[in-house]
Amino acid sequence: MSIDFQIEARSGPARAGRLITPHGEVETPVFMPVGTLASVKGVPQDILEELGVQILLGNTYHLYLRPGVEQVRKLGGLHRFMSWPRAILTDSGGFQVFSLTDLRKVTEEGVTFRSHLDGSSHFFSPESAMDAQIGLGADIIMAFDECTEYPADRERMRQSMELTLRWAERSKKHFEEHKSEVPWAKNHVVPDASSGERATRAGADEYGPSHVGEGARARQLIFQSAK
As a whole number, mean pLDDT of residues 195-208 equals 57
As a whole number, mean pLDDT of residues 59-68 equals 96
State residue 225's pLDDT score: 33
- In-domain check, residue 192: yes
- In-domain check, residue 13: no
State residue 87's pLDDT score: 96
CA 148 to the chain's CA centroid: 16
Query: Which domain CATH number covers 102?
Result: 3.20.20.105
Q: What percent of the chain has pLDDT over 70?
A: 79
Give kind and range of the element (H or E) at residue 211: none
- In-domain check, residue 82: yes
Lowest mean pLDDT among 56-70, 91-105, 184-198: 184-198
- In-domain check, residue 49: yes
- In-domain check, residue 22: no
- At 221, give phi and psi (nearest 5°): -125, 35
As a whole number, mean pLDDT of residues 81-103 equals 89
Q: Tell whether the model's pLDDT for residue 132 goes beyond 70.
A: yes
Q: Which domain holds residue 61?
A: 31-225
Instruction: Count how many domains the chain has.
Output: 1
**What's the rounded Cα separation, in Å, for the pair 15 and 62?**
33
State residue 164's pLDDT score: 92
The residue ranking higher by pLDDT, 129 or 198, is: 129
State residue 119's pLDDT score: 93
Closest CA to 63 of 9, 13, 117: 117
Residues 6+ apart with CB under 8 A from 99: 147, 214
State residue 206's pLDDT score: 58
Q: Tell whether the model's pLDDT for residue 46 goes beyond 50.
A: yes
- In-domain check, residue 2: no
- In-domain check, residue 110: yes
State residue 152's pLDDT score: 86
Mean pLDDT estimate for the chain: 83
- In-domain check, residue 100: yes
Full strand arrangement of the beta sheet holding 14-21: 4-11, 14-21, 24-28
As a whole number, mean pLDDT of residues 40-67 equals 95
Q: What percent of the chain has pLDDT over 90?
A: 66
Lowest mean pLDDT among 6-20, 116-130, 203-217: 203-217
State residue 197's pLDDT score: 57
As a whole number, mean pLDDT of residues 155-183 equals 88
State residue 223's pLDDT score: 33
Q: Band of the pLDDT at 227, cuts 50, 70, 90?
A: very low
